[in-house]
Amino acid sequence: MLTKLDLNAFLKAFRSALSEDDLKEALVRVTRVLGFSQFAMGHHVDLAHPPSGAIRLSTYNDDWVSHIFERGYFAEDPIHLASTKTVNGFAWHDVGDIIDLTPRHKQILSEAIGFGLGAGFTVPVHLPGEYQGTCSFAARSLDHLHKNALPVAQLCGTFAFEAARRIMRRKLKLQETGVPELTSRQLEA
């Protein structure tokens, strides 16, 4: 059974991750413990030519990744589109309630099933001034998830994405950006 102690251990692993390998290892562990089989976390950017600092970690089947590149599916991914319409995590079976699914979207979702991506839970990440992103946990079905898997996945997805942002800033030697100070005139408004 998933306990509060397990959640704290997961979050601690994300907070203490120093490299992409550390973070991937922590995500693999969370994915398995929650009952999922694969995960993908990243910014929504042109995957063929990602910009410097774009986050991309995944255990998705390599054949699926090749498949989406060959067919250009990454540009029309219904899960990514749905993630732009909400700040809450969502199960993939609810995507049709978030966006109007086109025949192409339905085709993508149908083909994903053959690669072990029949069901999942996606955590949207929206931060002003940065690329949108997601952290998704996937499986053939959601039938074997732990009782509290979805709320724990929501928390873990946000903590993991923040860890990736921190690791990338350090890797690119970028300064931390704090909250901008307002002038007295701005405070009056």
* H/E run at residue 57: strand 56-58
Q: For residues 156 and 14, is the Cβ–Cβ distance under 8 A? A: yes
Q: What is the pLDDT of residue 2?
A: 67
Amino acid at 186: Q
Give, in order, the Cα–Cα distances in Å from 25 to each of 13, 70, 137. Answer: 9, 28, 14
Residue 184 neighbours by CB under 8 Å, 6+ apart: none
**Tokens 């949108």, located at residue:** 132
Q: Which of 182, 187, 124 is nearest to 157 (CA)?
A: 124
- Give the separation between CA 102 and CA 143, rounded to whole angstroms: 27
Which residues partner with 91 through β-bridges?
Answer: 121
Q: How confident is the model at residue 180 (pLDDT cuts 50, 70, 90)?
A: low
- Residues 21-61: tens digit of each pLDDT: 999 999 999 999 999 999 999 999 987 888 888 899 999 99
